[in-house]
Amino acid sequence: MKKIILGLVLSSSVILVSNAQADQSYIRGSIGQSTFSSKLVPISVDDFLVELDEAKGNDTYLSVALGMEINKNFSLEIAYNNFGEVEDDVFYIQIPGDSLTIDLEAVLSSFSVAVLGKMPINERVSIFAKLGLEKWSGDYKVTITDTTADAPISIKGDDDDTDFFYGVGLSIQIDSSVSLVAQYDIHNFDASELDLDTELAVFSVGGQLKF
């Protein structure tokens, strides 16, 4: 159902943006930081069920968005989001003569469509809330390193799905065409391929240009 909704909204977005007047369309480039929190379900190692920690980390976030201002209170935009990569040990144990480490790597990106509801504070400053859908994709690798084994064991997978996301932000208008935008967004991805749940908190700043 979410994929159908995403397809309809994306089609509407393309039509709206292509038909927008010059002073209604905008493009925005953003850079920021993604904070990852990824949780794997327990896995079996040598017939033992191992409970894993969360993989946590930060990486650089990059985004390009194309949007249309419907009116002073609402905008519609489509975007490409590169969330970067997280790599972290999710399990480590050491016993005499042996140690076991389980490491998780994840690389994530998405295409998104969102509706922004804006509230002007004054002539130059506005705050906004965002609700959207995104088609995300991820590449994953779990590496199990046992010092008594000949070589590490790697389990690779890739997954994609459609999920909702939301956020808030602040826009400061510099002149009639240029604005500075700060945003804080929350994304949740459920990767069924590896039974992996990922939450992303993203803070970014960017420049927005009307055309």
Rounded CA separation 14/36 (Å)? 31
For residue 90, count other CB atoms closer than 10 A to its CB: 20
Query: What pTM did the predictor assign?
Result: 0.79
Indicate which CATH number applies to the domain containing 65.
Answer: 2.40.160.20
Q: What is the pLDDT of the chain when averaged over all its residues?
A: 84
| pLDDT given at position 146 | 81
- The CA-atom distances, in angstroms, between 208 and each of 174, 177, 189 are 10, 8, 27
Domain containing 76: what range?
2-210
Q: How many domains does the chain have?
A: 1
Residues 189 and 136: beta-carbon distance below 8 Å: yes
pLDDT tens readout for residues 122-156: 999 999 999 999 999 999 888 888 877 777 888 88
